[in-house]
């Protein structure tokens, strides 16, 4: 629905829209891997291998 | 779609109205894809990045310290082991060798900050604990499932197997004494006398701490080891690393 809407509103011929879609997806993944996931990982409960009240972040 | 209306050349079948259910479905699918991508990132990409970082650090150490003669077995030293110099918080000052691990060698840095040490550099020394070779409990933390997973195989360690710390001067060889699973708040495992808070230490111990069970942080996997001997780095490698190949 919304993705179909987005795809229809991309400019250019079909091949350009497909290319644009791939580029947009790649940009989203880069942003997720580079910034979003590293920012939320410290709040996940499975990374901490320390004992005691050691400094959790810093 | 278009096959049903062959006369309409460009038409591609329009949705009939906004369709709340359809949008909701897409949002749920998106959430699923995002969760999947997060897993890919956490379980695979953090390893890729940490591996790259760690092998760079190890190469750097090799250049700084000079190569070890891996052909020569260094004699055991009798005197008191040298005390390593700690360059400062979050700095790498050594490496560890655990022949029982798949990843036999990894960097060792000062501190247990997740962001600045454990996620990027490898294993981290609990700053308040003893140094290698000292009487007390030299304690080290590491990841088990993510970020290079230096302690992935920690549960494979059997009593008697060596855990070796390398610095610019020496190899410190420890031998595993026991493994246990504790709760995260059980700080007595890294007390100077392991298991007994406030007791003056008499032994030279080493302790490794990691997540337990795998892919969780509910408990901690602990390995204790006891100092066996040390060797001079200029003399070659210690016997404990003899079958590790060239390193």
**B143 at interface of A, judged by CB pairs closer than 8 A:** yes
ipTM associated with this complex: 0.82
DSSP B187-200: GGGGSSBTTBTTPP
Please give the Cα distance from A54 to B128 (Å, whole number).
Answer: 10
Nearest CA-CA distance, residue B67 and chain A, Å: 32
**A37 at interface of B, judged by CB pairs closer than 8 A:** yes
Class of the CATH-defined domain B49-244: mainly beta
Q: What is the pLDDT of residues A2-41, one digit of tens each?
A: 888 888 888 889 999 999 999 999 999 999 999 999 998 8
Q: What is the pLDDT of residues B59-111, one digit of tens each?
A: 999 999 999 988 899 999 988 999 998 888 999 999 999 999 998 999 999 99
CB contact under 8 A, B211 and A4: no
CB contact under 8 A, B189 and A51: yes
CA B50 to chain centre: 10
Please give the Cα distance from B187 to B191 (Å, whole number).
Answer: 7
H or E element at residue B208: strand B204-212
Mean pLDDT of B131-149: 93
Closest CA to B225 of B100, B93, B60: B100
H or E element at residue B209: strand B204-212
- Say if CB B162 and CB B174 are below 8 A apart: yes
Q: Which two tokens stand for residue B95?
A: 């490496």
Partners of A45 on chain B (C-beta within 8 Å) are: 216-217
- Say if CB B130 and CB B192 are below 8 A apart: yes
* pTM for the model: 0.83
Among candidates A44, A50, A53 on the partner chain, residue whose Cβ is nearest the Cβ of B209: A50
Please give the Cα distance from B118 to B179 (Å, whole number).
Answer: 21
């Amino acid at each position: 629905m919304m993705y179909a809407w987005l795809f229809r509103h991309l400019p250019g011929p079909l091949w350009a829209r497909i290319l644009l879609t791939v580029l947009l997806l790649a940009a989203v993944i880069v942003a997720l891997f580079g910034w979003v996931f590293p920012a939320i990982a410290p709040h996940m409960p499975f990374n901490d291998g320390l004992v005691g009240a050691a400094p959790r972040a810093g | 779609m278009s096959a049903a209306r062959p006369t309409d050349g460009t038409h591609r079948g329009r949705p009939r109205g906004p369709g709340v259910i359809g949008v909701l479905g897409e949002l749920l699918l998106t959430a699923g894809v995002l969760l999947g991508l997060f897993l890919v990132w956490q379980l695979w990409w953090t390893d890729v990045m940490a591996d790259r970082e760690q092998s760079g650090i190890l190469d750097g150490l090799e250049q700084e310290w000079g190569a070890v003669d891996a052909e020569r077995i260094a004699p055991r030293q009798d005197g008191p082991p040298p005390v390593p110099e700690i360059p400062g918080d979050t700095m790498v000052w050594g490496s560890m060798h655990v022949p029982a691990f798949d990843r036999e060698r990894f960097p060792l840095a000062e501190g247990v900050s997740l962001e600045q040490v454990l996620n990027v550099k490898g294993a981290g020394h609990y700053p308040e604990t003893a140094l290698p070779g000292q009487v007390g409990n030299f304690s080290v933390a590491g990841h088990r499932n993510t970020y290079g997973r230096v302690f992935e195989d920690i549960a494979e360690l059997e009593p008697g197997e060596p855990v070796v710390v390398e610095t610019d001067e020496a190899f410190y060889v420890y031998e595993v004494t026991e493994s246990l699973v504790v709760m995260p708040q059980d700080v007595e495992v890294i007390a100077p006398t392991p298991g007994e808070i406030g007791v003056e230490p008499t032994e030279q111990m080493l302790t490794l701490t990691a997540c337990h069970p795998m892919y969780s942080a509910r408990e901690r996997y602990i390995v204790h080891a006891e100092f066996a001997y040390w060797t001079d780095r200029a003399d070659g490698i210690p016997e404990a690393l003899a079958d590790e190949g060239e390193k």
